[in-house]
Amino acid sequence: MLELRERDRLESLFLEVLEDQSKRELLLYLLCYIQLVKKEGNFSIGLDQFLGCAYRSFRASRNQWKDVLVELNLLKITDIYGNVYVGKDIYKLQEDNLLFVSLYEQYLEDFYGLSNRVVKYWSIAHKLGYSKLWNPEDAIHLGVYIFNEELYEEYMHYSELQKERFRWESVFFEVLEKVVKGTIIQDCVKCWWEALELARKLPDVYYGVDVEKLRKSLENNWRRCQKGKRVEKVKVEFVKQTKGKGLWRYLKDTINRLYRRLVRKGPWNIILKEERLREHPRLNV
């Protein structure tokens, strides 16, 4: 049986960003630190250098950095005397002193694993924009993005939250949960069969997801697992629009989306943007 690890601060931060787009700035500060560590080859980065990276990329007000670091709760400040400042102690600092930023020790052992996770989080955050409502289509699309990035632990926690919000759509989330288990456990014939059986309850196209192709991948892995072969990674795809049906599908999707927003009101909404980054900064991490 797949046992999920307890969520660490980084994963909790990612889920917070999905809930509140304004917190995306927290990820950017962490990305700036990662970029500078790789450039300088040192885990200790000068505060001025660190803030310069963040401000150029996000153009945030300079007086907000203390608030950001306190909420981020992943970076600490050290002065030239070796004094360490974490949490609300950061508010005591004077910026004119010589200060250094570094990551909490527990994350340094797997720094490159952490940096890969942060880059994936940022790439997903780029696809999000927020309005006042929330609908199941957006939740499913976001779940697919998380799953396809192979953020399996994050997907399992995310899925549990969404199944409570959207019980009618819980079958889809459960399908990918079974896939995660089958992928990690490897010899789980039952996982792949259960995923396939659940996927058969869904239409061929479900909120734009190509379920028909997904079922074929599930059946293939179920048969491979029966034969003792290593299963293949599953990637969920969306149905591509054809030129002949483009306008009609656009109108139909628009009507359906408006209808769902009227009848399925919730506390917040995510609109998934195009994958190209139009107005957001790019970081070479």
Q: Same domain for 202 and 148?
A: yes
How far CA 71 is from CA of 25, 88, 93, in Å, comes to: 11, 9, 16
Q: Same domain for 90 and 173?
A: no
Establish if 123 belongs to a structural domain.
no
Q: Give residue 34's identity as a one-letter amino acid code.
A: I
Q: Summarize pLDDT for 162-181 with one digit per residue, the tens.
A: 999 999 999 999 999 999 99
Identify the CA nearest to 186 among candidates 155, 237, 158, 226: 226
Q: For residue 78, what are the β-bridge partners?
A: 84, 100
Q: Which domain holds residue 63?
A: 9-113
Q: Can you say how many angstroms the Cα of residue 259 is from the centroid of all Cα atoms in its chain?
A: 27
Task: Please spell the DSSP secondary structure of 154-197, one letter per residue.
Answer: HHHHHHHHHHHH-GGGHHHHHHHHHHHHHHHHSS-HHHHHHHHH
Q: Same domain for 190 and 266?
A: yes
More confident residue, 282 or 223: 223
Q: Same domain for 83 and 164?
A: no
Q: For residue 269, what are the β-bridge partners?
A: 131
Establish if 239 belongs to a structural domain.
yes
Tokens of 105: 């020790």
Establish if 13 belongs to a structural domain.
yes
The domain tally of the chain equals 2
Distance CA 77, CA 51 (A): 12
Q: Same domain for 214 and 153?
A: yes
Q: Summarize pLDDT for 172-212 with one digit per residue, the tens.
A: 999 999 999 999 886 789 999 999 999 999 999 999 999 99
In degrees, rounded to 5, the angle at the alpha carbon of residue 137 between the alpha carbons of residues 2 and 151 is 30
Establish if 108 belongs to a structural domain.
yes
Whole-model pTM: value is 0.78
Tokens of 76: 């600490």
Distance CA 79, CA 94 (A): 10
- Other CB atoms within a 10 A radius of the CB of residue 247 amount to 10
In degrees, rounded to 5, the angle at the alpha carbon of residue 180 between the alpha carbons of residues 178 and 186 is 95
Identify the CA nearest to 139 among candidates 171, 165, 119: 165
124: exposed, middle or buried (Cβ count in 10 Å: 0-12, 13-18, 19+): buried
Q: Summarize pLDDT for 122-152 with one digit per residue, the tens.
A: 999 888 765 433 788 888 999 999 999 999 9
More confident residue, 124 or 273: 124
Q: Same domain for 257 and 147?
A: yes
